[in-house]
Structure 1
Amino acid sequence: MNGAIVDPILQRYKSAIAQLLDQLARFAQAIDNAALTRTIQNLQDNINQPFLFVVIGEVKAGKSSFINALLDSGEICEVGADPRTNMVAKIIYAQGEGYSREVHPGELREIGRPVPILQQIAIVDTPGTNSPSQKHEAITKEFIPNSDLVIFVFFSKNPYTNTAWTLVDFAHKEWRKPVIFVLQQADLADDRELQASVQYIAQEAQQRQIADPKVFATSAKLATDKLKSDHSNSDDSSENIDAGFAPVQDFIRSTITGGQGYRLKLTSNIGAAEQIVERLGNDMRLIKQQLHQDETVVARIRDRLGQGQNQSHYEIDALVERLMVQYERTIYQIKQEFRDGLSIFTLAKRSVLSIFNRKQRIETWMNDLKTRAQKELEETLDETSKEGAKRFIDGIQSMIKQLLAEVTALENDALRKTEITLPMLEYRYEVIESVKTKISALLNDETFMNCLTDTVDGVGPGVAGGGLLAVIGGTIAAVTEIVILDIIGSVFLGVGVLLAGGVLVAKRRRLIQKLDTELERNKTKFEATVSEQLNAKLSGIYDEINASFVDLYDYVEKERESLTPLIQQFEQIQRQTKTLAAAVRQL
């Protein structure tokens, strides 16, 4: 079999593909994918090498014998009764006597032979597809992306096995490689069996979207017998021996060594690049979507926190307003009782009766008024505060649960199944788990929740009761002094009740005015203090909740800075690949 590959006339496209592979190699390194980097490096090496055949088939299908017969050069690949190909063998051109060496011990052997056709093609002989060693299939798969043509060899009498078809799908569907089929050992099948086998292979290939599948029937034994007959100059004519290799050699000559080889190799290389870009495209699409989701969730978290804080401020304002209504109602009753208790006749009566009964003394009445006022005010405000606290806590708990659901929605194991292994993406899962733990801890932290309840529940009554005690206490001192001097003193010193009454009228107005003024001042202070303390506590609460998300905020910011240039780089590679592939296929 002779012929020569057409001299390179499409260097511009070859150079463009080489540049594209360089960009893909840099991208593979950027995403820390060692396997992809190795595949691309092999493609880079392959672009300058002879046309590469990869021969695949089951054990004892006759692959090695087929290669020997195809090369017309004796036993290059060892054959025998037992399965001899126990490692992948790459057969290349070599001058002199040739050589055989293990490139990867136990896995890959390189065989060099001075066969002219090997200057134009290289052949990879693989172990059986049903080899017990998983490494054999893995190495075979490594060669398929670099191949320019994949030859699948089946036993002509029994092609009805499935192990090879998995690799057919891998080569044709995943890597878009041209494939042909060979039915070996055709001398062992009769015409009917051979025709059925050819039909079966063609149908199976068409079902796998292989248009116009090429199926060849060959016999390495007949080819060897013919070669021996020719060399021995036997009188037995070998012209009538049809080993079936002529159609295979014609196909190779017309497609590989007949002028189309260079174009086919370029098409194979750009097809492999397209497949890499397509596979990466699916992964990058996931990453881009995940980045968008992360950014959206962070924006929603911040928005929910802002809305939640505004809602909590509104609830606090509403609570303060309800507290003030209860406060004013209680204070009105205190004022009314104070006015009635300071009437002339009530005071005179208490002054006289107090001589015989200490419980009737004015200061006793005032202390009782203070105690009752404080108790009533605290009970009233406490009830209102508890109601407001429940609304407040329910609102915050509901918001925290919504935030937890937002973070939980970020969990996506799909990223772990991609070919992209950036440390940033692995760290993502740690951040999400950490944030979830912190948020869940807030929900389950009784101290945190009780703190919220105690804050709302205790501020109102505490501030109001303390202020009221101060106001009434100061007023009691003034009233006691006036009553003792102006009432009791006047009655028993003979000044007269009318005079005492006249003095008291003036004093009473001032006392009532003083009480009103102090209670009003206390009301303003109460409102301001309650609002200030509750809002201050609210800010602290939301600061603590927001602190649970700081790691997520920082991560998404770094994720954006890290992935955006990578996404832009890949999108540029996608555009270049699409444009270059379209141009190569028009050659």
Structure 2
Amino acid sequence: MLLHEQYQEHVNQEKTLLWEIHACLLKTGADQGDLAKIKDVIDGLDELFLLVIVGEFNSGKSAFVNTLLGQKILEEGPTPTTDLINILKHGDEAGSRVLDNLRVTRFPLELLKTVNIVDTPGTNSILKEHDELTLNFIPKADFVIFVISADRPLSDSEREFLEIVSIKWKRKVLFLLNKIDTKSAKDVEIILEYLRRETAKILGIEPQIFPISVLQAYEAITTNNQKLLEISRFEALEQYLDEALNEGERVRLKLLNPVNIVQPICLSEQKELRQKLDVVAEDRRKLQQIDKQLAYTRDDLKENYSRFLLRVENILLDLRNRAYDFVDDFLQLRNIWDITSKEKAQQQFHEQVVKDSSEQIEDVLTEAADWLVKKSMRVWDETLESYKQQLNPNVYRGKVLGEIGGQFVYDRDKIYQGVIRDARSKIKEFNYQQESQNILKTFQNALIHFAAAEVGALGIGAILISVLSGLFLDITGFFAATTIAAAGLFILPRKRKQAKEQFNGRIQALIAELKGNVEREFDDYMENTLAQIKDTISPVDRFCRAEQEELEQGQQELVGLLAKLEQFQRSINMK
């Protein structure tokens, strides 16, 4: 068993929590590399305590391990001798084999029954893959010993490596200043002070540094030279390690290290979820803006379209006024014989009153149809441009989406590109001339009743015929009773008034009917156009709604899991 039974409950509790976090991050679309790290730390809980030795080549890493174990197990030398991660494990017999770029060395030592020791390639190795091997193995470490040579204390590569170990992976680091036997006591103190100051800048805390001479310590241990052991200052280090790495402390570090790895991953994912929600919120704001713009466009078009209806109304009112003038001029006693001729009256009425009114109205409606088509095309173009802006890296993506990625960005781009593609297709298929003719054809339905006004019983011309027919009967009756002068005195004024009233009523009815029909056709066309645009952009709306719901659920779940992780961390630190 890895740990004493009293600690196993904590291990099981942590595993359960970490698997919950893994499941949550899997749903939120976290980076696959981060998910793999979480699985690694879960698996690592079942492994022995991992003590990892790092430092530049020739700093004395392998020599330190040999001294700690009391015998030469690892190869030493002034040039890079460790070309692979070397893991020391307990074994009944000594032996070594290479497996998956790892050298596993087994040795029958009591210490190795509870601790695995890892010797890494130098951080300044001439082979780049050595650095990568070391960096990839650091997250698995439970405790890190950083060996620094007094010959070149805290080189640039050591500074960079230390930042990764302590800041990114938040590992507890113990520093060993090796080869103090090559420096004077005064120089050692100067180097120690320098290391304390510089490492504190990187770590943010006072570092624990042990000055030692591994060379002297190994000789003292193997020759049982107590005086030389004191000179090497190795005993103080051994005492510290015995206390710092007792079973209780090893368990605490073993349990805390996964927290130190997973917590930053969770916080990073939480930040990314917020950024994704910001993107979705911005997209939804743009959708609402587009929706408002479409509503505004509809109202604006309707308001501007009234000028065409006003022109049609003016044409009809001019016709009515000409009809008034005609009635005043035609229904005079001097025209008494023309009045009694329906055909002659109707001919003059058409020539002087109706004239080309139908053509004038049709010209206005033709102009209106062209205007409406142009406005519709402009709405399509503006909507398309808005969505192109949403994907413009210089305007938007670089500010927000540049910081996040993964499936979310892929799905979002796919949706937007689909909308843009669909909109472009509709615009490309849009036949301006045909569309204008279609609109005009629907408008022409509104002219049917007006065209019938010249010949139909309910038309404008029919009003005159009806008035004249009654007038003819009235005049005939007067001829029988009295003189023709009575027609001018009693009949014609009344008929003129009657004709004007009927003309005005019919014209007002025509105006209302024509405006109603044209407005209805206009509204139908605009609503159909706006519905097509909304249908085209609806995938974005559905995507935003679904993503917002999922992201908010993931964020809420992650907040709860982070709270549990922090509570677990506090409980472990209190033990």
**TM above 0.5, one fold?**
yes
CA separation of 1:543/1:482 partners in 2, compared to 1, >3 Å: closer, same or farther?
closer
Partner of 2:38: 40
Pair 1:100 & 2:96 matched = yes
CA 327–82 in structure 1, closer or farther in 2 if over 3 Å, else same: closer
2:161 pairs, out of 167, 173, 188, with 167
How far residue 583 of structure 1 moved from its aligned partner, in angstroms, is 1.7
Equivalence for 1:79: 76
SS of residue in 2 equivalent to 1:548: helix
* Alpha-carbon spacing, 1:286–1:208, altered in 2? closer, same or farther (3 Å): same
1:558 Cα offset (Å): 3.2
Indicate whether 1:91 and 2:80 are aligned: no
Alignment-derived partner of residue 234 in structure 1? none
Which residue pairs with 1:200 in the alignment?
A: 194
- In structure 1, the residue matched to 2:454 is 472
Mapped pair 1:157 → 2:151: yes
Superposed displacement of residue 94, structure 1:
1.3
Residues 21 and 561 in structure 2, CA contact (< 8 A), matched pair in contact too: yes
- In 2: Cα distance, 1:6 partner to 1:538 partner: 75
- The structure-2 alpha-carbon separation of the partners of 1:250 and 1:13, relative to structure 1 and needing over 3 Å to count, comes to same
**Alignment RMSD:** 4.4
Pick closer, same or farther for the CA change 1:439–1:262 going to 2, 3 Å.
Answer: farther
1:360-399 alignment, distance < 5 Å:
363=347, 366-367=350-351, 369-374=353-358, 377=361
- The separation in 1 between residues aligned to 2:156 and 2:251, in whole angstroms, is 29
In the TM superposition, residue 113 of structure 1 has moved relative to its aligned partner by 0.7
The structure-2 alpha-carbon separation of the partners of 1:212 and 1:520, relative to structure 1 and needing over 3 Å to count, comes to closer
Letter in 2 for 1:174: K
| Residue number among 391, 396, 413 corresponding to 1:429 in the alignment | 413
**Cα pair distance change 1:414/1:60, threshold 3 Å:** farther
Letter in 2 for 1:469: A
Aligned partner letter, 1:89: N
Q: Which residue of 1 aligns with 2:267?
A: 281
Deviation at 1:11, TM superposition (A): 4.3
Q: What is the CA-CA distance between 1:525 and the residue it aligns to?
A: 1.5
Compared CA separation, residues 377 and 144, structure 1 to 2 (3 A)? same
- Deviation of 1:270 after TM superposition, in Å, equals 2.2
Residues 446, 517 of structure 2: 8 Å contact kept: no
Tell me the residue number matched to 2:52: 54
Q: Cα distance, 1:534 vs. partner?
A: 0.9
Q: Work out whether residues 316 and 511 of structure 2, in 8 Å CA contact, stay in contact via their aligned partners in 1.
A: no
The alignment's TM-score, normalised by the length of structure 1, stands at 0.79
How far is 1:210 from its partner?
A: 4.8
List per-residue Cα deviations over 1:58-77 (Å, max 9, x = no partner).
12222111111111022x11
Percent identity, please: 16
Q: CA deviation at 1:86?
A: 0.6
Which of 335, 338, 360 is the aligned partner of 2:320? Answer: 335
CA distance in 2, matches of 1:11, 1:483: 113
Identify if the C-alpha distance between structure 1 residues 28 and 520 changes in structure 2 by more than 3 Å, giving closer, same or farther: closer
1:301 aligns with 2:287: yes
Q: 2:227 aligns with which of 209, 228, 239?
A: 239
Larger deviation: 541-550 or 212-221?
212-221
Moved more, 463-472 or 545-554: 463-472
**For the residues of structure 2 that align with 1:557 and 1:439, how far apart are their CA atoms?**
21
1:348 aligned to 316, 328, 335, which one? 335
Deviates more, 1:262-271 or 1:155-164: 262-271
Matches within 5 A, 1:431-510: 431-438=415-422, 447=430, 462=444, 467-474=449-456, 475-476=460-461
Q: 1: CA distance between counterparts of 2:337 and 2:108?
A: 135
What's the TM-score, normalizing by structure 2? Answer: 0.80
The alpha-carbon deviation at position 215 of structure 1 amounts to 1.8
* Residues 1:148 and 1:483: Cα distance change in structure 2 (over 3 Å): closer
Secondary structure of 2:508 counterpart: helix
Are the equivalent residues in 1 in contact too, given 2:96–2:106 (CA < 8 A)? Answer: yes
Shift of 1:385: 8.5
In the alignment, is residue 254 of structure 1 matched against residue 243 of structure 2?
yes
Deviates more, 1:407-416 or 1:429-438: 407-416
8 Å Cα contact 1:294-1:410 kept in structure 2: no
Match of residue 205 from structure 2: 211
Query: After superposition, what is the alpha-carbon deviation per residue over 1:223-244, rounded to whole angstroms, capped at 9, x for unaligned?
Result: 34335545xxxxxx66335333
Q: Secondary structure at the match of 1:157?
A: coil
Deviations 1:321-373 (A, max 9, x none): 54554444333332232233242449839969x9xxxxx99626624543343
Question: What secondary structure does 1:208 align onto?
Answer: helix
Whole-angstrom CA distance in 2 between matches of 1:245 and 1:218: 6
1:549 Cα offset (Å): 1.5
Structure 2: gaps of 5 or more residues: none
For 2:41 and 2:165, the matched residues in 1 are separated by 15
CA distance in 2 between partners of 1:314 and 1:217 (Å): 82
- The separation in 2 between residues aligned to 1:272 and 1:251, in whole angstroms, is 24
- Cα separation, 1, equivalents of 2:203 and 2:560: 30
- Is the deviation greater in 509-518 or in 126-135? 509-518
2:525 is the counterpart of 1:528: no
> Contact between 1:377 and 1:464, CA under 8 Å: does it hold in 2?
no
Asked if structure 2 preserves the Cα contact closer than 8 Å seen for 1:39 and 1:142, the reply is: no
User: Take 2:466 and 2:245, find their aligned partners in 1: how far apart are those partners?
Assistant: 123
Aligned length: 556
